[in-house]
Amino acid sequence: MIRSESRRVFGTGLGRQPRDVALNVAAFVSLFVLAVLWVVPILWALDTALKPESETTTVPVSWFPSHFTFAAFGKVLAAGEMLRWYVNSVFTTVVITVVAVVLASMAAYAFSRLHFSGKWFLFWLILAGIMVPGQILIVPLFTEMTALNTVDTYWGIILPQIAAPIAVFIFKQFFDGIPHELEEAAIVDGASRLRIYWQIWMPLAKPAIAAVSIFTFVAAWNNFLWPFIVVTNTDMMTIPVGLATVQSSYGIRYAQIMASALLGGVPLLIVFVFFQRQIVQGIAGAGLTGR
């Protein structure tokens, strides 16, 4: 009886093995093809940036120039504008990320743990902001920034981007999963709401903080439309806006254009390399469950 049962179990497993191998191979091949399609444009941009300017428009095109050179990178950095755009992007992006995380987590704590009239109406009103395309708010936001005299300033770039309804939702879902006993014990010990939020809730919310911070950082760094509208001074431009002006400044100097684009993407590459685990957890929804 045991032998027949074992034969049945192992026989079933062996019967499924070729199918599983075929599915794994198909998945690997598909992912490999997608990876190649994703990386080829980046490699071509790097190849173009390392070519002598005279060889970027030769026909037929070739991956291998007569020699590789960093002259395009040197010229871009020597111009001075790229370094200024870096400073603007780093400053505004860091401030947007920090303020957005703090405001969203505080709002989420209030919605998750406090009881006040109109709580659910306000919460659903904030969530409604997720469904509103940002382009619709361009005109009223610009009018507001003009009234506040923040056009061509860091505040004009930062203020409209610190409101993050999706971050409030993520933090609230995370806070809802924290046991109420922790808060009750802290209140019995005399802890204030602010202390509970800062010393208990925030340390426990590290996965959510990491996911929200990374996605907010990437979104703020890549944001082109709003900084393009609110900034007209070259010294106040961020990397995406500055790169949009590079082509007109460099003309047909494709090596310098590609060098500028690669330099603009370096910070995001660094963020991915050092925080890829948190990025994967955020995509998988680990930040919502606290795992």
pLDDT digits over 96-149, tens only?
Answer: 999 999 999 999 998 988 888 888 898 888 888 888 887 888 888 899 999 999
Mean pLDDT along residues 148-162: 91
* CATH T-level topology, domain 71-289: MetI-like fold (1.10.3720)
User: Is 279:272 a contact under the CB 8 Å cutoff?
Assistant: yes
Residue 3 has pLDDT above 70, yes or no: no
User: Is 152:194 a contact under the CB 8 Å cutoff?
Assistant: no
Measured CA to CA in angstroms, residue 19 lies from 7, 10, 24 at distances of 19, 15, 9
Phi-psi region of 80 (alpha: psi -120 to 50; beta: other; left: phi over 0): left
Least confident window among 66-70, 185-189, 233-237: 66-70
pLDDT digits over 216-240, tens only?
Answer: 988 899 898 899 899 888 888 888 8
**Cα–Cα distance measured from residue 217 to residue 162, given in angstroms and rounded to the nearest whole number:** 11
Residue type, 247: Q
**Cα–Cα distance measured from residue 85 to residue 243, given in angstroms and rounded to the nearest whole number:** 9
User: Is 82:63 a contact under the CB 8 Å cutoff?
Assistant: no
Least confident window among 3-7, 161-165, 266-270: 3-7
User: Is 162:103 a contact under the CB 8 Å cutoff?
Assistant: yes
Predicted model pTM: 0.76
pLDDT confidence of residue 102: 93
Among candidates 127, 81, 91, 93, which has minimal Cα distance to 224?
A: 93
